[in-house]
């Protein structure tokens, strides 16, 4: 039976403490500092106990690396001035529902002039990464606000950019005021105007991507009033509900159903009860989903205008552009 080297075991114990604080990642320099010689490091790698992930960076065990482990490994590979950003930062803060794929490169923010890189790491450069990072999180990661701003700028569509802002505010990870303050400190920011509009609407009560789409594509684009959003109301004096959009002067309610369908019968019954109660108390209700608002905004605008007009609204509805599909007040093609 081979004799165990006490000094080697002690060095391994010290390294385990270091790696545990870094989600299982460590560097060659840290292994040497713990007292491990190069031949001991090679033996651990040959035996498969340690796994190389970047040049000079290893994991203490095989298998898929957790998100925190990947963050630490990339940070150790690029050095102490590197900051986690991109999709990994968005996942870290809960702005996305799923972890990035294991083969998706991690985005790291580095100082201007730095030429450091690593396999599987995408590098973006700014003058001072530390100014964008959360002061207390390790490894360094962009603040929620800076993560949102990057996601807004990098989003493939305006709708995706809107959704990330709304999700961050809905989950109370940040506020419109903090987002606007962070945006003001940036000289360049893609979709700045859109961000300012969305933050203003969030302060006015818009809480879902579908509500935002209704306000932009239906109401504003066609010259209709935006109404009050998320207005509390009591059903039979017992249960509090929220009206998505309320046109108070005309007693008109617009409900926006962001779900793909009523999978649960109880949810459908709840909505029917809410709509029926609105009718019994003198309100008229229109209900629209994603397909109507995103794909048929002009027809939705016409229906909302016609109902408002029936109840005393004197304003007009205007085409949103040269290809607008508005119909006349009687339903004939314009």
Q: Specify if 293 maps to a domain.
A: yes
Q: Specify if 234 maps to a domain.
A: yes
DSSP string, 232-288: EEEETTTEEEEEEEEEGGGTEEEEEE-SSS--SHHHHHHHHHHHHHHHHTT-EEEEE
If asked whether residues 291 and 239 sit together in one domain, one would say: yes
Q: Specify if 126 maps to a domain.
A: no
If asked whether residues 231 and 187 sit together in one domain, one would say: no
d(CA 18, CA 25): 8
pLDDT of residue 240: 65
pLDDT digits (tens, 9 = 90+) for 7-59: 888 999 999 999 999 999 999 999 999 999 999 999 999 999 999 999 999 99
Q: What percent of the chain has pLDDT over 70?
A: 86
- In this structure, the dihedral spanned by the alpha carbons of residues 86, 163, 230 and 240, taken in order and rounded to 10 degrees, is -70
Backbone CA torsion sign across 295, 297, 298, 301: positive
If asked whether residues 228 and 303 sit together in one domain, one would say: yes
End-to-end CA distance of the chain: 93
If asked whether residues 153 and 232 sit together in one domain, one would say: no
Whether 275 shows a pLDDT value over 80: the answer reads no
Structure tokens at 145: 């606000």
Average pLDDT over residues 255-268: 53
d(CA 215, CA 210): 9
pLDDT digits (tens, 9 = 90+) for 183-242: 999 989 999 998 998 888 788 777 777 888 899 999 999 999 989 888 787 655 555 667
Average pLDDT over residues 274-283: 64
Yes or no: say if 214 and 245 are a contact pair by the CB < 8 Å rule. yes
pLDDT of residue 269: 45
If asked whether residues 169 and 227 sit together in one domain, one would say: no
| Number of independent structural domains in the chain | 3
Q: Specify if 319 maps to a domain.
A: no
Give burial (CB, 10 Å; 0-12/13-18/19+) of 221: middle
Would strands 83-85 and 57-59 be described as parallel, antiparallel, or unpaired? unpaired
CB count, 10 Å around CB of 261? Answer: 9
Structure tokens at 266: 């109880």
pLDDT of residue 330: 41
Whether 3 shows a pLDDT value over 60: the answer reads no
pLDDT of residue 242: 77
Round the CA-based radius of gyration of the chain to a whole number and report it. Answer: 27
Task: Residue 77: name the closest of 17, 123, 126, 12 by CA.
Answer: 123
pLDDT of residue 203: 81
Whether 259 shows a pLDDT value over 80: the answer reads no
Task: Residue 206: name the closest of 220, 192, 189, 186 by CA.
Answer: 220
Task: Give the residue from 61, 84, 110 where a domain finishes.
Answer: 61
Task: Residue 31: name the closest of 4, 48, 56, 62 by CA.
Answer: 56
pLDDT of residue 96: 84
- CATH number of the domain at 272, please: 3.40.960
Using CA atoms, how far residue 284 sits from 206, 237, 250, in Å, is 21, 19, 9
If asked whether residues 192 and 158 sit together in one domain, one would say: yes
Give burial (CB, 10 Å; 0-12/13-18/19+) of 6: exposed
If asked whether residues 178 and 256 sit together in one domain, one would say: no
pLDDT digits (tens, 9 = 90+) for 76-134: 999 999 999 999 999 999 998 777 887 888 999 999 988 898 988 999 999 999 999 99
Average pLDDT over residues 258-286: 58
Q: Specify if 136 maps to a domain.
A: no
Q: Specify if 95 maps to a domain.
A: no
Structure tokens at 208: 């879902």
Model confidence band, residue 5 (pLDDT cutoffs 50, 70, 90): low
If asked whether residues 236 and 288 sit together in one domain, one would say: yes
Q: Specify if 331 maps to a domain.
A: no
Q: Which domain holds residue 258?
A: 223-310
Q: What is the mean pLDDT of the chain?
A: 86
Model confidence band, residue 157 (pLDDT cutoffs 50, 70, 90): confident
Backbone angles phi, psi at 108, to 5 degrees: -120, 140
Maximum distance among all alpha carbons in the chain? 95
pLDDT digits (tens, 9 = 90+) for 61-70: 887 788 999 9
pLDDT of residue 329: 47
pLDDT digits (tens, 9 = 90+) for 138-151: 999 999 999 999 99
Average pLDDT over residues 252-265: 63
pLDDT digits (tens, 9 = 90+) for 290-316: 778 878 899 999 999 999 999 999 999
Whether 270 shows a pLDDT value over 70: the answer reads no
Whether 331 shows a pLDDT value over 50: the answer reads no
Q: Specify if 153 maps to a domain.
A: yes
Task: Residue 178: name the closest of 193, 168, 187 by CA.
Answer: 168
Yes or no: say if 307 and 283 are a contact pair by the CB < 8 Å rule. no
If asked whether residues 295 and 241 sit together in one domain, one would say: yes
């Amino acid at each position: 039976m081979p004799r165990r080297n006490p000094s080697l075991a002690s060095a391994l114990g010290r390294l385990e403490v270091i790696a545990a604080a870094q989600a299982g990642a460590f560097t060659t320099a840290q292994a040497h500092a713990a007292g491990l010689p190069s031949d001991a490091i090679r033996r651990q790698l040959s035996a498969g106990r340690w796994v190389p992930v970047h040049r000079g960076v290893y994991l203490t065990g095989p298998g898929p690396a957790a998100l925190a482990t990947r963050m630490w490994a990339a940070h150790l590979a690029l050095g102490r001035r590197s900051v986690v950003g991109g999709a990994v930062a968005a996942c870290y803060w809960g702005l996305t529902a799923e972890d990035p794929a294991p083969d998706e490169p991690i985005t790291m923010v580095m100082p201007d002039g730095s030429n450091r890189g690593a396999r599987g790491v995408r590098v973006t450069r700014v003058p001072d990464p530390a100014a964008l990072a959360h002061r207390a999180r390790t490894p360094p990661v962009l603040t929620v606000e800076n993560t949102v701003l990057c996601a807004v700028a990098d989003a493939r569509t305006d709708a995706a950019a809107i959704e990330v802002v709304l999700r961050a505010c809905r989950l109370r990870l940040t506020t419109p005021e903090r987002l606007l303050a962070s945006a003001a400190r940036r000289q360049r920011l893609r979709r700045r105007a859109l961000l300012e509009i969305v933050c203003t609407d969030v302060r006015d009560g818009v809480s879902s991507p579908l509500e935002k789409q209704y306000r932009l594509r239906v109401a504003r684009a066609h010259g209709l009033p935006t109404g009050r959003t998320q207005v509390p109301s009591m059903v039979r004096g017992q249960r509090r509900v929220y009206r998505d959009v309320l046109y108070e002067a005309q007693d008109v309610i617009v409900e926006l159903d962001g779900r793909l369908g009523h999978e649960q019968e109880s949810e459908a019954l709840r909505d029917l009860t809410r709509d029926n109660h609105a009718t019994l108390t003198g309100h008229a209700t229109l209900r629209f989903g994603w397909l109507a608002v995103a794909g048929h905004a002009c027809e939705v605008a016409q229906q909302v205008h016609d109902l408002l007009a029936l109840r005393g609204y004197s304003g007009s509805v205007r085409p949103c552009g040269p290809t607008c599909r508005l119909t006349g007040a009687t339903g004939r093609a314009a």
